[in-house]
């Protein structure tokens, strides 16, 4: 852990022994982005690297027949029906280390909720954030997704609520094993200041209905950003990306000449 919980926008707490630590999300999406997109598309890079990757705490497999879910994990002796399952061996660890009044209240690892094919999954981590900061828990940005399941997105006010970092997934394919690996990010956790998704912000936006209503300033910005670069005899490749990166470093904007 770097710094104190109060000095970080988000703090992860490892609970499951040996659970893989989160890492900063990667602009190359773990090397899966096309090289041209990685080099020149700053919008893609910025979205991909916003937040942190969180991994499953163990390699495990789910299978759904449309009604019942079974599961197994690395080192298991077989398949088990899934209702609510503790992480293997964690209950004893929790009860040994938690305050006496909290023993017996270890969070479950996997829970099959009443809706068909929906599973709540615990990452093995607890989480909190600084005052007025929340977290968006979502699928990893721009990482090719499995066609066998889908992840729900959720915003948690983790400055006011301290607890396990869960995600919810919906199984799609039936009668096939669906594998989850500690080598592949499960979710991406992104910090959100509460003001960015407040009702007064989401309920208010501008709209210019047609080209005839565009103000002079909008046409000027379109000319500067889109038209002029395309008229240059030698067009600078990735000028927007270079300008954004320089601005982040505190330098002067790059202008095409």
More confident residue, 11 or 248: 11
Buried-exposed string 11-32: b where 16+ CB fall within 10 A, e elsewhere = bbebbbeebbebeebbbbbeee
CATH architecture of 5-201: Distorted Sandwich (2.70)
For residues 256 and 230, the answer to whether their CB atoms sit within 8 Å is no
Q: Which residues are 156's β-sheet partners?
A: 135
Q: Distance between CA 214 and CA 217 in Å, rounded? A: 8
pLDDT bracket for residue 253 (50, 70, 90): very low
For residues 127 and 159, the answer to whether their CB atoms sit within 8 Å is no
pLDDT digits (tens, 9 = 90+) for 117-126: 999 999 999 9
**All residues at 6 or more sequence positions from 164 whose CB lies less than 8 Å from its CB, including other chains:** 15, 107, 122, 123, 125, 126, 127
For residues 62 and 180, the answer to whether their CB atoms sit within 8 Å is yes
Task: Tell me what the mean pLDDT of segment 3-9 comes to.
Answer: 70
Q: Distance between CA 18 and CA 13 in Å, rounded? A: 12
pLDDT digits (tens, 9 = 90+) for 76-132: 999 999 999 999 999 999 999 999 999 999 999 999 999 999 999 999 999 999 999
Residue 53 burial (CB count, 10 A): 22
pLDDT digits (tens, 9 = 90+) for 133-159: 999 999 999 999 999 999 999 999 999
Q: Distance between CA 238 and CA 233 in Å, rounded? A: 15
CATH 2.70.40.10 maps onto the chain at 5-201
pLDDT digits (tens, 9 = 90+) for 191-245: 999 999 999 999 999 999 999 999 999 999 999 989 998 888 766 666 656 666 6
pLDDT digits (tens, 9 = 90+) for 40-55: 899 999 999 999 999 9
């Amino acid at each position: 852990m770097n710094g104190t919980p109060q000095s970080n926008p988000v703090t992860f707490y490892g609970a499951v022994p040996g659970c893989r630590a989160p890492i900063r999300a990667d602009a190359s999406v773990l090397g899966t982005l096309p090289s041209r997109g990685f080099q020149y598309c700053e919008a893609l890079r910025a979205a991909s690297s916003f937040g942190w990757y969180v991994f499953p705490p163990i390699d495990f497999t789910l299978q759904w027949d449309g009604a019942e879910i079974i599961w197994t994990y690395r080192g298991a002796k077989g398949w088990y029906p899934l209702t609510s399952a503790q992480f293997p061996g964690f209950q004893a660890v929790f009860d040994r280390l938690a305050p006496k009044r909290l023993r017996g209240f270890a969070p479950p690892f996997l829970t099959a909720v009443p809706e068909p094919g929906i599973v709540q999954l615990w990452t093995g981590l607890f989480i909190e954030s600084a005052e007025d900061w929340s977290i968006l828990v979502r699928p990893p940005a721009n990482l090719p997704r499995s066609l066998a399941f889908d992840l729900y997105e959720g915003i948690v006010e983790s400055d006011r609520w301290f607890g396990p970092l869960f995600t919810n997934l919906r199984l799609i394919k039936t009668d096939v094993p669906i594998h989850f690996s500690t080598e592949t990010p499960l979710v991406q956790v992104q910090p959100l200041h509460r003001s960015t998704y407040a009702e007064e912000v989401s309920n208010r936006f501008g709209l210019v209905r047609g080209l005839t209503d565009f103000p002079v300033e909008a046409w000027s910005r379109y000319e500067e950003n889109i038209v002029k670069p395309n008229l240059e005899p030698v067009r600078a490749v990735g000028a927007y990306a270079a300008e954004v990166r320089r601005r982040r470093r505190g330098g002067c904007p790059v202008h095409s000449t």
